[in-house]
Amino acid sequence: MTKTVDLPLRVHEDLVKVSEELSLMAKKPISPSMAVDLLMEVYRAHLNNPCALDAFSQQLRSLNLMSPEEFDKYWDEPANPQLAKRKVKAKKP
């Protein structure tokens, strides 16, 4: 049975890009849901190493993580609008 997951737009866009990159590597189509499955397998394989698990756990504990609500709000907000409006001028030689 399939379940629907709500992802912030930027996370979804990144997932689509990852699935496209994996498709190029595999030389066959990889859907976003297949990409999630592959990424989880890589995560599990990496953390099967006790040293990697310990190091990752320590890093995770030391991070100042946002709450899930803050994360969703942060990722759903558009990129800094002031930066998007600026035009970069080419330097003259």
Q: Is the pLDDT of residue 64 over 60?
A: yes
List CB contacts of 39: < 8 A, sequence separation 6 or more. Answer: 18
pLDDT digits (tens, 9 = 90+) for 68-81: 888 877 776 655 54
Spell out the alpha helix ranges (H) of the chain. 9-26, 32-47, 50-62, 68-76, 81-85
Confidence (pTM): 0.66
